[in-house]
Structure 1
Amino acid sequence: MNGPALVAARTRLDRTPEQLAAELGIPPHAYAACEAGRASLSRRHAELITYQLAVRDRQDALAASGLPACQWMERWGDEIPEARSALEAHVARAEAHASGCATCGARDAFLAERFPTMPPVPMAGWARALQRLMGWVDARPEWLRPALLGAAALAALTAIRVVLVLPAALREPRVLLAALGAVVAASAAGAFGGLVYALLGRPLRRVPVVGPYLAGMVAVAGYLLAILTMVAIGDRDTPRDLASDALFLVLLSALLGAFVGHRWLRAPLPGRSAA
């Protein structure tokens, strides 16, 4: 995006140079250099402006169309929760409402007839890669998704160990092989924990009142069982006290699982979202 195009975009968005610089998170003098042609915006900043222009075009077209606004959606926009844990349920309610609302349907059809697909939401490179991964996971069967997410999460956490042992691995390659083996084992443990949740925990979420808490306990128990098994296999020379391990598993699953259920699993399941 060259200087004249940037000036035109800022004017279209009704921003001052200082305001747009603040929105982009760059110093005013650096932004001024971009408008003057002495510097260039980063790709992510240019994508952000392109996205904002697309939103403005659609807003203006709807305002001039004469189509009535959806009062439900206007109230929904004023009630966006601050807690991230409640945001998923809030979005689900909007999607459920829009699917059966004639007013929303007319506005969506109006935009679809006149505009191409919205440009992607601008984000950092790592976030875009994560979004693609999540999109790939979402395309898998529902019962398999928790296993894939669990495997990816524990593998990512264990991969930190690979980074830490790289200096030692230069002297002794077997150290690196052991670290990579730990990543594979962690992936298997995460997949097992995810399957336990998919097969046992997810159905429990439908139990009235206590369902999310029971699901959280089952999910935590699955991951803990997999991790404890992995530790036991990796340290066979140390005697294990099965009674103590079982007590630890039950107590931590109950405490941590109740927190997980309260914090993350109380959102409505697909098909149960309130319109």
Structure 2
Amino acid sequence: MTAADFAATRARYTASDADLAVILGVSTGTLAAWSTGARAVPKQKAALLCWYVAAEERAKVLEASGLPACAWMIACDEQFDATETPEDLPDPEPHVATCAACHKREAYADRRLGPLPPMPRSGIVSIIDTFDELPRWARPAAIGAIVLAAIADGEMISDLPRLVRDPSQIGLATLTLALAAGAGAAGGLAYALTRPSLERLGRPGDYLSGIAFTLACLSALAVVSPFAIGDPLIRNRTDLVILACVGVFFGLVIGHSWLGPAKTPAESRP
């Protein structure tokens, strides 16, 4: 979006500069810099401004339509303006899907302006939304992959000077990162499959869930290590026993620290 495009789009939105700055998460000085071209308008901010302009124009069209407003939506808007925790408000989508008045208003606006696109999200919010859209059984696998990949990435950062000196090691470092993510995904999947049954066992089930996670991670590494790095993780029965003991130990740690019952503030005080 050029400075001229930003200024033209801004002129269509009736909010004050102060309110728009809050909406976009910037300062009024940044708005001025965008208008003059002193600073480039980030794509995400430009998309967000365009969405608010489209939403306001849609509201004006509906207000002039003469169609009766939905009492539930009016009450919801009033609650939104009055609350400091909008995340606690009810989700309007289920209501809109079944409300005749909302259907008529949406159809009227769609015929004149086209459908309103989804509200643009920031990078981290988009990631969270994508995570929430995953099936429940897939979420632990995603978490496991992210956690172990982050741990491996931390190790790679500490080795960054060596990688700069010897770029040939970058491929191995990337493979290590992929293996860590794959092992974490395997552990998360094992957790997702076993947790519903083990959770019924109470505290022992927490420990067993942790063990299932770590053993699945180590098993995945053991399976792929001969093909990925040419060096098997398990060469004999002793290696298998050691691997199992390591898995059980760290599984107990995870079950105790991650899956244990949350302490109340009173319980946390000495």
- TM-score, normalised to structure 1's length? 0.64
Aligned to 1:185, the other structure's residue is in SS state helix
Deviation at 1:176, TM superposition (A): 7.1
Q: How does 1:156-235 map to 2 (within 5 A)?
A: 156-166=146-156, 167=159, 170=163, 180-196=178-194, 223-230=209-216
Map of 2:59 onto structure 1: 59
Q: 1:181 to 1:58 in 2, by over 3 A?
A: same
Map of 1:151 onto structure 2: 141
Deviation at 1:62, TM superposition (A): 0.6
Task: Indicate the percent of aligned positions where both proteins have the same amino acid.
Answer: 23
Q: How does 1:260-271 map to 2 (within 5 A)?
A: none
Contact 1:200–1:218 under 8 Å retained in 2: no
Q: 1:45 to 1:187 in 2, by over 3 A?
A: same
Aligned to 1:51, the other structure's residue is in SS state helix
CA distance in 2, matches of 1:66, 1:121: 26
CA distance in 1, matches of 2:185, 2:177: 13
CA distance in 1, matches of 2:3, 2:215: 60
Residue-by-residue CA offset, 1:48-94 (whole Å, 9 max, x unaligned): 1100111001100110001111111222334457285x56xx21xx3
CA distance in 2, matches of 1:216, 1:118: 47
Map of 2:226 onto structure 1: none
Deviation at 1:110, TM superposition (A): 1.1
Name the larger-Rg structure.
Answer: 2
- TM-score, normalised to structure 2's length? 0.65
Deviation at 1:32, TM superposition (A): 1.8
Deviation at 1:232, TM superposition (A): 7.7
Contact 2:187–2:217 under 8 Å retained in 1: no
Q: 1:227 to 1:83 in 2, by over 3 A?
A: farther
Please give the root-mean-square deviation of Cα atoms over the aligned residues, in Å.
Answer: 4.4
> Which structure would you say has the larger RCO, counting Cα contacts within 8 Å and 6 or more residues apart?
1
Equivalent of 1:255 in 250, 257, 261: 261
Q: 1:31 to 1:230 in 2, by over 3 A?
A: same
Q: Does 1:237 align with 2:223?
A: no
Shifted more, 57-66 versus 14-23: the winner is 14-23
Aligned residue pairs total 233
Aligned to 2:261, the other structure's residue is in SS state helix
Map of 2:76 onto structure 1: 76
Shifted more, 8-17 versus 224-233: the winner is 224-233
CA distance in 2, matches of 1:50, 1:76: 24
Deviation at 1:104, TM superposition (A): 1.4
Aligned to 2:14, the other structure's residue is in SS state coil
Q: Counterpart amino acid of 2:11?
A: T
Equivalent of 1:110 in 108, 111, 131: 108
Shifted more, 215-224 versus 110-119: the winner is 215-224
Contact 1:194–1:223 under 8 Å retained in 2: no
Deviation at 1:153, TM superposition (A): 0.9
Map of 2:232 onto structure 1: none
Gaps of 5+ in 1: 138-144, 202-212, 260-275
Deviation at 1:250, TM superposition (A): 8.9
Map of 1:46 onto structure 2: 46
CA distance in 1, matches of 2:98, 2:145: 41
Deviation at 1:24, TM superposition (A): 2.6
CA distance in 2, matches of 1:59, 1:11: 17
Q: 1:79 to 1:217 in 2, by over 3 A?
A: farther
Q: 1:43 to 1:252 in 2, by over 3 A?
A: closer
